[in-house]
Amino acid sequence: MKHLLKMSDLTREELFHILDVADELKADRKAGRPHPYLAGKTVALIFAKASTRTRTSFEVGVYQLGGLGTYLNATTEMQIGRGEPIQDTARVLGRYYDGIMIRTFKQSDVEALAQYSGVPVINGLTDYCHPCQVLADLQTIREFKGGFEGRKACFIGDGNNMANSLIVGCLMAGMSFTAVCPEDYRPAADVLDYAQKFPGKFQLCTDPKEGAVGADVLFTDVWTSMGEEAETEKRRKAFRGYQINEEVLALANPGCMVQHCLPAHRGEEITAEVFEAHAAEIFEEAENRLHAQKAVMAILMGGK
Ligand code: CP
Ligand code: NVA
């Protein structure tokens, strides 16, 4: 494993190694045991989009690993925002930093950064995928459910970055998966192709009540993602009914978990009642961003 660019780059062994290290680092932190795998190392944290969880969990995570993280705003502060090519930015940052995390729009920019920088690159979200979030989600599911085999995951909403990474991650981990998306908002074609490698384990449908039946974990995400704000009204209409609510949850298995990457829009993709009833799982998921990303950095840059 040289980078974390998208879930499908990982082998099953690499995925489980990340999850195991994430559990170990979580236990270390809870016990107050130092774990300085990045001692003396530096990580550039590039953001071309807003963030609460990703920015803070990476900054805190690098520090807890003994390294230095530098927050870089790609829109208002870096020369990328004024047109400097990503290839040139990559070749400069690769000479200063031991690794780079980037949140941006185009997946191709993340791939270029990896190609030209010469240091490990971690995808902190693109329009195409969000692998760091899905690693935290899988860590949370394993904590609450004890494992993945024989479990069913269901995603209700936009077939976007979260859906794309969840489909790959959950299938790779051993779960079955149902994606419930409107016809015009399906997951990426290459992700649907990837799912074909798991015969009988993947389903795509348009009815939340059909998809939720027998689920052990229900996921959703915002109807309007970052960068799509101009489509907000159109999307409100297209996604009406694509919501995790009591009625949908009643069709899932008893004890079904609810996961949301956050930020959440109560009354849109999830009701306030369901959100609050499952807040313990949702905020454990948010906490696990810290542990899962520390695991990725410790493996990529700390020899773990
Ligand atoms: N879930 C997530 O990535 O949150 P932020 O946008 O706050 O980083
Ligand atoms: N799909 C959302 C995820 C936010 C973490 C977005 O891209 O805005």
Strand ranges inside the chain, DSSP E: 42-47, 68-73, 99-103, 121-123, 152-156, 176-180, 202-205, 217-220, 257-260
Amino acid at 3: H
Question: Which of 133, 155, 164, 221 is the pocket-test mutation for ligand 2 (most atoms within 8 Å of CB)?
Answer: 221
Sequence spans of domains, the chain = 7-130+289-302, 131-285
- The pLDDT of residue 300 is 98
Q: What is the DSSP string of 132-180?
A: HHHHHHHHHHHHHHS--TT-EEEEES--SHHHHHHHHHHHHHT-EEEEE
- The pLDDT of residue 249 is 98
Q: Which long-range contacts (CB under 8 A, 24 or more apart) does 193-196 make?
A: 194/8, 194/167, 194/168, 195/167, 195/168, 195/171
- The pLDDT of residue 217 is 98
State the average pLDDT for the chain.
98
Provide the edge-to-edge strand list for the sheet that holds 152-156. Answer: 202-205, 176-180, 152-156, 217-220, 257-260
- The pLDDT of residue 62 is 98
Q: How confident is the model at residue 55 (pLDDT cuts 50, 70, 90)?
A: very high
Q: How confident is the model at residue 128 (pLDDT cuts 50, 70, 90)?
A: very high
Distance CA 22, CA 28 (A): 10
Same fold? 7-130+289-302, 131-285: yes
Q: Read off the pLDDT of residues 134-175 as tens digits, 9 standing for 90 and up.
A: 999 999 999 999 999 999 999 999 999 999 999 999 999 999
Question: Distance from the CA of 2 to the center of ligand 2, in angstroms?
Answer: 25
Question: Distance from the CA of 225 to the center of ligand 2, in angstroms?
Answer: 5
Closest residue CA from atom 3 of ligand 2: 225
- The pLDDT of residue 205 is 98
- The pLDDT of residue 9 is 97
The first and second tokens of residue 156, run together, are: 């209700």
Distance CA 86, CA 97 (A): 15
Catalytic residues: 103, 130, 133, 221, 261, 289
Q: What CATH number labels 131-285?
A: 3.40.50.1370
The first and second tokens of residue 38, run together, are: 């990045």
pTM of the model: 0.98
Q: What CATH number labels 7-130+289-302?
A: 3.40.50.1370
Q: Which residues line ligand 2 (CB under 6 A)?
A: 125, 160-162, 221-222, 225-226, 261
DSSP state of 33: -
Closest residue CA from atom 3 of ligand 1: 54
Question: Distance from the CA of 205 to the center of ligand 2, in angstroms?
Answer: 22
Burial class, 285, CB count within 10 angstroms (exposed 0-12 / middle 13-18 / buried 19+): buried
The first and second tokens of residue 256, run together, are: 């079904």
Judge whether 117 and 100 are in contact, CB under 8 Å.
Answer: yes
Taking residues 299-303, report their average pLDDT.
98
